[in-house]
Structure 1
Amino acid sequence: MSLRSGFARLLRKQADAALQVPKPGHSVALVGAPLSRGQKRRGVEHGPGAIRGAGLTQRLLGLGCRVYDFGDLNFTQVPNDELYNNLVKYPRSVGLASQVLADAVSGAVAAGHSCVTIGGDHSLALGAISGHTRQCPHLCVIWVDAHADINTPLTTQSGNLHGQPVSFLLRELQDKMPQLPGFSWLKPCLSAPDIVYIGLRDVDPAEYYILKNYDIQYFSMRDIDRLGIQKVMEKTFEHLMGRRQRPVHLSFDIDAFDPSLAPATGTPVLGGLTYREGMYIAEEIHNTGMLSAIDLVEVNPLLGASQEEVKATASLAVDVIATCFGQTREGAHTVFDELPTPSSPDESESEEQVRI
């Protein structure tokens, strides 16, 4: 049995067992994806452990979710993984890891779970979204990030694949995409109208060209300042689900937040989302009732200047995920049907006087 098929079989077995004892709330599969070859900074592979350590499972259980943590996937480091075009780094390793993750996410969704992929760098999104579309071919994507991550292998300036995942997924860009070693399995699964960006503020020239010329909907931080986050979310859902309800895949890079809130990440950019704006995005996605999968990426424990910065960044990631599953700023409450009454009858006025 292969690793991928065995993982998918385990997911289905767990989901079948869960269905025998109905419980309230979501059934959530946690999949750790310690993928780090999509970028240059070491440490992001420790992101899944940091997010778990910040209490993710306990928070979801407290919201009434059934949680199945399948641990971290094992990604094979391909030996002699040479640069593509003398620039693109680790294409075979990232391609193979993305295939493993695609199979895992597909299996989780097929088993009836909402799949939460905790990373790891943002190149993992091409595998997570590819796997999700196998089960939900008409899904839509909300990409919350400081960066567009839509360079092609021929326009990238850094060569890092975490800045390129969306270009692999879009059908409209396939005539601009070379065949990278390790990616022969991947088929484009999204069209430009299927994705909306929120929080952009560091976009490369080629990415700006793609966003404009392929009519991709995005809301920069300037747009958020101008419109307000409520209007941004209204426009997002009108664009993605104005004609029909469909599953939502949220791909959330922790660097969407301002670095003062999320310092332990690899490519921080000033002027990001406030805590309130980030939570409002997650609340509104939850309120659609259509959330099907989440990526939470780019938490890097090695880049915090102190343990407090690492904890703050990981705790913020937990807040985003928990809010997507129903945590509210009014508090996370269990079902409360009625107020309790005194267990003994009230004393009459005369009895009260005697007692006094």
Structure 2
Amino acid sequence: MRKLSIIGMPMDLGQMRRGVDMGPSAIRYAGVNERLQMLFDEVIDLGDISIGRPEVRIDKESKLRNLELIAEKTAILADKVDEVIQSGAFPLVLGGDHSIAIGTLAGVSRHYQNLGVIWYDAHGDLNTAETSPSGNIHGMPLAVSIGLGHPLLTKIGGYQPKVKPENIVIIGARSLDEGERALIKEKGIRVYTMHEIDRLGMTKVMEESIQYLQERTDGVHLSLDLDGLDPTDAPGVGTPVNGGISYRESHLAMEMLAESEIITSAEFVEVNPILDEKNKTASVAVALMGSLFGEKLL
């Protein structure tokens, strides 16, 4: 029996542009429950984790924005994801800004010895307090998950790292800060930039990524930031970068992941309906979820 549980994480604390907290609502409005009920025996929507309306706080020492609140809320998400996996359901998290991945990965990684991660994103999200130009934690979740960053974040769940650098594949990168580039080289993180996607084609990129992760992991988490897609296809994101992955290439990527059956958890993040056009980006997210979970035309 195929079961899926949806967790909404309406958190906008990891960055400065308001509206991304409405992402889970926008995705629901775009018909996520109805779409997935056709693909699973049981779909349970667990509603949203309560974030409230906290004031912005900047940590005096690290200069990180909303550090304690993000640590507190992502720890709650980690426990919720853990519960979903224990219940035998597939956890699907709706964001929210990308800092929520700190919690998702903290919950998922309790269940795997060698968790793999596909980071589908225009950005590396590998900054730390030392390398971040902004102090925004949504640019740090992957660094946190490999054990780099503020201990309040890296130690969520009581252990670190959540994932090994060699078990990560970043797909769609086209905006990397200097510190991130250095870290990618130092840690040997596999990255397919837009150059590789253009040169090799999405089919080859996904074949290589799937084979690479199948050989070394016992489960794979998909963290899909809608800004991985080109802004013409997904305009409702906080940090759009031109020259991204197309809608069609993204469907192909999701279909290939469905066929491979390697994905064991997923999150779709950074949908901001205030910056969107007629809920287009949320609708794209739902369509991609359909492909990821095995929807077929024929």
TM-score normalised by length of structure 2 = 0.94
Matched, 1:233 2:209: no
CA deviations on 1:309-335 (whole Å, 9 max, x unpaired) are 14211110001111111112x24xxxx
Seen in structure 2, the aligned counterparts of structure 1 residues 185 and 78 have a Cα distance that, compared at 3 Å, is farther
Which of the numbers 189, 192, 216 marks the counterpart of 1:216?
189
Q: Is the 8 A contact 1:264 1:310 kept in 2?
A: no
What's the counterpart of residue 299 of structure 1?
271
What's the counterpart of residue 127 of structure 1?
103
Q: Is the 8 A contact 1:254 1:265 kept in 2?
A: yes
What's the counterpart of residue 254 of structure 2?
282
Matched, 1:43 2:19: yes
Matched AA of 1:147? H
> In 2, Cα distance between the equivalents of 1:232 and 1:282?
12
SS at match of 1:242: helix
User: Which is higher, the Rg of structure 1 or of structure 2?
Assistant: 1
Matched, 1:206 2:179: yes
Overall identity of the aligned pairs, in %: 37
What's the counterpart of residue 255 of structure 1?
227
> In 2, Cα distance between the equivalents of 1:182 and 1:138?
17
Uncovered stretches (5+) of structure 2, i.e. residues with no partner:
none
> In 1, Cα distance between the equivalents of 2:106 and 2:273?
27
> In 2, Cα distance between the equivalents of 1:240 and 1:142?
9
> In 2, Cα distance between the equivalents of 1:111 and 1:158?
39
Matched AA of 1:217? R
> In 2, Cα distance between the equivalents of 1:255 and 1:137?
30
CA deviations on 1:33-68 (whole Å, 9 max, x unpaired) are 001100111110100000000000101112244100
Matched AA of 1:38? G
SS at match of 1:123: helix
> In 1, Cα distance between the equivalents of 2:61 and 2:134?
12
What's the counterpart of residue 292 of structure 2?
324
Uncovered stretches (5+) of structure 1, i.e. residues with no partner:
1-22, 332-356
- Structure 1 vs Structure 2 CA RMSD: 1.9
> In 2, Cα distance between the equivalents of 1:159 and 1:321?
31
What's the counterpart of residue 334 of structure 1?
none
Count of aligned pairs: 297
| 1:74 positional shift | 1.1
SS at match of 1:168: helix
Q: Is the 8 A contact 2:106 2:157 kept in 1?
A: no
What's the counterpart of residue 238 of structure 2?
266
| 1:180 positional shift | 4.3
